[in-house]
Amino acid sequence: FTTILALFISIRSYQNMAVTYRDGETIAQQYREIEKANAKLNRMACTDQLTGLYNRRYLMEHVLGLYEAYQNSRMQAVFLMIDIDYFKQYNDIYGHLKGDDCLRQVSAVIRKYCQENGMIAVRYGGEEFLALKFFENPEERDRARELQRRIEEAGLPRTDTRNQRVSVSIGVWSGRLQELGSFEAALKFADQALYDAKNAGRDCICHYCGGDVQENS
């Protein structure tokens, strides 16, 4: 009787352990699935659905954190504010579906360029984009001109402008982070340079230089 009872208790104990293990595995699997779903939702919340670029939420929640981490270091940055020239006119002539396609194609050029050059690409709003990079050593390359050239070479056609292709204007701020009062200041300076590029006739690049704006064709 004692042997049978001990065997019965052992079997019940094993069964309980097996059930507990299966329940633990089920819970762990459910937790992994929840984590994956949350990560996907977070990516969706930080990504512009039309272009696949990061959105302004990502800019203010993640890129701002990088700026704050680098702010008191010797790090430098370059901010390119990019605007598709006469985009409202493009939409009016070709329609919003073609306008969306234009946004996707320009975004694809910007995304590829940024991936190759370690930059962050953001759809800032409407037809306006932001490309930026934090770096330690001085950079001699004219990143804005190279990006503008790539968009030119994409040759996206339109018949309502002088050059018969989709073009962009770019405003640039670059300098040491210690010179900035805030992250928003860099955005403001790049935006001011973009505003001047538009006033200069569009399809050009302007650099913000401590209150002065210098134009590059």
Whether the Cβ atoms of residue 176 and residue 76 lie closer than 8 Å to each other: yes
**Phi and psi, residue 117, nearest 5°:** -115, 15
Instruction: Assess whether 127 carries a catalytic annotation.
Output: yes
CA distance 5 to 124: 73
Question: Which strands make up the sheet holding 212-216, listed edge to edge?
Answer: 120-125, 128-135, 76-84, 168-176, 205-209, 212-216
Whose tokens are 């089920």? That residue is 26
Catalytic residue among 33, 68, 127, 128: 127
Q: Kindly tell me the sign of the dihedral angle through the C-alpha atoms of 94, 95, 97, 102.
A: positive
**Run of H or E including 39:** helix 2-45
What is d(CA 8, CA 56) in angstroms, rounded to the nearest whole number?
64
What amino acid positions are annotated as catalytic residues?
A: 127
